[in-house]
């Protein structure tokens, strides 16, 4: 399975976030899965890729050409694909992936996550989405999403589509669960 991982590019986070991202990468490689990600050397993206590489796993980095400066990109990735824009990068990662894992991250990570979720709700894909809630990072996001569902702004299917977990070892079993097909395509737009 090709698993797309979204996550922070920052190098100034608490060590627990990097440890969890690296462990996730090791888990992916150990299980024979491939990593598809934004190609960064630093942050949680780079930690995850380092974990995959340490166990000899397969990595595909995807980045816009304008990122190809200095030491920004993880060129050790097995394959590297370049795009012209950030939007093309995101679309290519989504197309390559069989599943998505969202690590803690800032606005870029959130933008990638919300587009992936929206496309699933609209029936454009039926790929599983797991959110790794390291150190409780996504508790407020979960509360916001559940409130949005409770108040009728978001389809109830969102509760089934999103799978939250606290530890990297919980991610792969959640990606194997059924139910995505049942919940997809039933947003307010798809009725």
Question: 72, exposed or middle or buried, with CB in 10 Å at 0-12, 13-18, 19+?
Answer: middle
Rounded distance between C-alpha atoms, residue 164 and residue 55, angstroms:
25
* Bigger pLDDT: 186 vs 163: 163
User: Which tokens in the block code for residue 112?
Assistant: 């990638």
pLDDT digits (tens, 9 = 90+) for 89-143: 999 999 999 999 999 999 999 999 999 999 988 888 889 999 999 999 999 999 9
Return the residue matching tokens 């599983």. Answer: 128
The CA angle 87-181-136, to the nearest 5 degrees, is: 65
- Give yes or no for a contact between 9 and 39, defined as CB atoms under 8 angstroms apart: no
pTM of the model: 0.91
pLDDT band at 73 (very low <50, low <70, confident <90, very high): confident
Exposure on the CB side of residue 118, measured as CA atoms within 13 A: 8
User: Which tokens in the block code for residue 116?
Assistant: 């992936």
């Amino acid at each position: 399975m090709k698993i797309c991982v979204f996550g922070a590019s920052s190098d100034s986070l608490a060590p627990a976030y990097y440890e969890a991202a690296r462990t996730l990468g090791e888990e992916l490689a150990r299980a024979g899965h491939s990593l598809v990600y934004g190609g960064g050397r630093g942050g949680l993206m780079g930690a995850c890729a380092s974990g995959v590489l340490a166990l000899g796993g397969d990595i595909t980095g995807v980045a816009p050409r304008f990122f190809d400066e200095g030491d920004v990109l993880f060129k050790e990735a097995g394959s590297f694909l370049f795009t012209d824009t950030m939007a093309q990068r995101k679309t290519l990662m989504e197309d390559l992936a069989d599943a998505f894992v969202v690590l803690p991250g800032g606005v870029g990570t959130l933008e990638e996550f919300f587009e992936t979720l929206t496309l699933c709700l609209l029936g454009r894909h039926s790929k599983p989405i797991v959110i790794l809630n390291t150190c409780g990072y996504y508790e407020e996001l979960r509360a916001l999403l559940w409130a949005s569902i409770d108040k009728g702004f978001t389809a109830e299917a969102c509760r089934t589509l999103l799978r939250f977990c606290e530890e990297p070892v919980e991610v792969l079993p959640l990606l194997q669960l059924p139910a995505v097909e049942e919940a997809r395509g039933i947003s307010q737009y798809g009725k």
